[in-house]
Each structure stands twice: as C-alpha cells, then as structure tokens.
Amino acid sequence: MKLQLAMDVLTVEDALELSGKVAEYVDIIELGTPLVKNAGLSAVTAIKEAHPDKIVFADLKTMDAGELEADIAFKAGADLVTVLGVADDSTIAGAIKAGKAHGKGVVVDLIGVDDKAARAKEVTDLGAEFVEFHAGLDEQAQDGYDLNTLLTAGKAAGVAFSVAGGVKLATVADVQASGADVAVVGGGIYSADDPALAAKELRAAIS
C-alpha cells in the first residue's frame, strides 16, 4: 500500500518545509485544496521541482470544466489530479481525456457521494486511476463519524481505491487490511509534534 501525505497548509513555503521533512517516508505528495486555492498552480510546480521522484497529487476537487482544469494542473507538473465523484460523467471523462493526453492520471474523490461503492465502479469504468473513499474535514468533525464506514464501502467496491478521512497511526493498519491501495494522511502528519517521525511510524506500520 502506498502512503500519501496530504498537505493542508496554505503557503508554498510551508508546503516545501513539510514535504522536505516527510518526503522520504511517502510515495505521493498531495497539495491540498486550500493550498492550491491560496497559492495557485505554481505551488504544484514548486513541489514537483523539489521532489521530482515523487508522485505529485493536486487536490483540485474539480466539479466542472474537467478537461480544462486537469490540463492546466498537468501542465504545472501534477501527476494526479482529483475530480469530484458528484460531478457529471462528462466532467470526469473530460479530466480523464486530459490525463491520457499528458500520460497522467485522474483520481475521483467520493466526498459527498451517498452510494460510494456503486459510484466507484462507474467512475473506474470511465477510466479513473483510482477512487478516493473520502470523509472530508467537516464530516470528520461531526458526531458519530467512523472511518470503518469508508473501509467497508471501499472493500465492497472491488476497484482500486484510496482512503482519506483522518487516517492516523492507530488506524493505518485497518486501512491496509481493507485492501486499499493508498492511505492518505493529512492531519495525522502535519499536526504531529514531529511530522517526520509521524510519517516514519506510519510507513513502518504498513507494507
């Protein structure tokens, strides 16, 4: 299983500092949506230049104009971009078309989708690289949030998938046991007292 660092920081300086500490322990470096919105796609270029050997993931959460938004992110240096699973199939197909043109990939984020397993199969058929079973930061903050709901849905889908939703050291082995291809960790790394140690421990907990 791959490990993905989600950098929900706001500036290129903070992203470079965080990724500099953590990159050796992760496979995928994600620029979170707030970072892309605050700093623009030049942040993607800066991270790819700093870490050319890593998979750079731009969390665009595209909802419309799939081909156009994906194209500009790929041109900026992204290897993977996200499109929302609640978007129209044509939006997802447009982003995938741009991905094929650049030899890069599209991840479909299932945040806000009710039947995640069913939508995961549909978007995989459209050509998604993998599908993200995701509970966002606001959903995680609600009473009764349970990561296991995502893991059960991911397992049921029978497609390539990642899991994002407050994954941390205590739960990353459960993510791997669910059959996930990628564990996404944001706060579990960037909010730790020692982000490098947190990433190192997460890496050691999975195979």
Ligand X SMILES: O=C(CO)[C@H](O)[C@H](O)COP(=O)(O)O
Contacts with ligand X, residue ranges (CB under 6 A): 6, 8, 32-33, 59, 136-137, 140, 164-167, 184-188
User: Minimum Å distance from CB 125 to ligand X?
Assistant: 24
74 vs 25, 101, 206, CA distance in Å?
A: 24, 10, 30
The nearest distance, CB 101 to ligand X, in angstroms, is 25
Q: How far apart are CA 128 and CA 97, in angstroms?
A: 10
Q: Which is nearer to ligand X, 16 or 184 (CB)?
A: 184
CA distance 140 to 85: 19
- Nearest distance from C-beta of residue 182 to ligand X, angstroms: 11
Q: How far is the CB of 33 from ligand X (least distance, A)?
A: 6
Task: State which residue, 77 or 166, has the beta carbon closest to ligand X.
Answer: 166
137 versus 160: smaller Cβ distance to ligand X: 137
Q: Are 62 and 93 in contact (CB under 8 A)?
A: no
CA 172 to chain centre: 15
Please choose, from the candidates 62, 103, 60, the residue with its C-alpha nearest in 3D space to the C-alpha of residue 79: 103
Query: What φ, ψ does residue 22 adopt, rounded to 5°?
Result: -110, -20
Sign of CA dihedral 25, 28, 29, 31: negative
Residue nearest to ligand X (CB): 186
Nearer Cβ to ligand X, position 159 or 184? Answer: 184
Least distance to ligand X from the beta carbon of 199, Å?
A: 12
Cβ 14 to ligand X shortest distance, Å: 14
Measured from the CB atom, is 84 or 98 closer to ligand X? 84
The helix or strand, by DSSP H or E, that contains position 31, with its residue range, turns out to be: strand 28-31
Yes or no: say if 54 and 27 are a contact pair by the CB < 8 Å rule: yes
Q: Which is nearer to ligand X, 8 or 129 (CB)?
A: 8
Give 169's contacts (C-beta < 8 A, 6+ positions apart). 188, 198, 201, 202, 205
